[in-house]
Amino acid sequence: MGEVLRVGVRKGIEKVGLSAIPLNDLVSYYQLSKDHISIHVSGVDLSLAEKRRQMHDGLQELARSLTVEPNLSEVNVITATSWIVGEYPKIIENLGFTVDTGLEHPLARTSIRRYKSRSLVNIERKYKDKRPGFAWMGRVEFLQRYADDSSKHPL
């Protein structure tokens, strides 16, 4: 697993071996391996409407990156591991992700351990005790949903 080049520093994100790649003010991602990306949603203070817009725009930008960036050509899974997935699974499912409540996906347990160890993101104290969840989407489905006119998939 190679180190991703540092592109920027964002509030709430720690650099521990990998750096977050920002897509916009709300959404960033980590390339954890040549075939795995984990998305991160920052705790920025935005209205719900603005969060929805930026989430949609960020996922569209990630889809664009998946199609043009050579270092992302082998990515076959996009994951999200967070207290948000655990607390609001329907929102994550509405984005097209499969919420893996049984932690059966091969990356689920490792992702939960990484999240709990806070090795990628600095979890705010008020969310530290919330149970995290794991969600995933395959590359093909992600690109079908977000690479073209994803307005057909409203939040």
Of 84, 96, 107, the closest CA to residue 147 belongs to 96
- Answer positive or negative: Cα dihedral of 62, 147, 79, 138: negative
- Pairing relationship of beta strands 77-82 and 36-41 according to DSSP bridges: parallel
pTM of structure:
0.79
Q: Give the whole-angstrom CA distance, residue 76 versus residue 81.
A: 17
What CATH number belongs to 21-152? Answer: 3.40.630
R_g of the chain computed on alpha carbons: 14
Per-residue confidence (pLDDT) for residue 122, from 0 to 100: 62
What pLDDT digit, counting tens, does each position of 102-119 carry? 889 999 999 988 888 865
The tokens of 22 are what? 């920002």
Per-residue confidence (pLDDT) for residue 4, from 0 to 100: 37
Q: Give the whole-angstrom CA distance, residue 3 versus residue 101.
A: 30
Percent of the chain whose pLDDT exceeds 70: 77
- Residue ranges in the chain assigned as alpha helix (H): 48-68, 83-87, 89-94, 108-117, 139-146
Confidence of residue 20 (pLDDT cuts 50, 70, 90): confident
The pLDDT of residue 13 is above 50: no
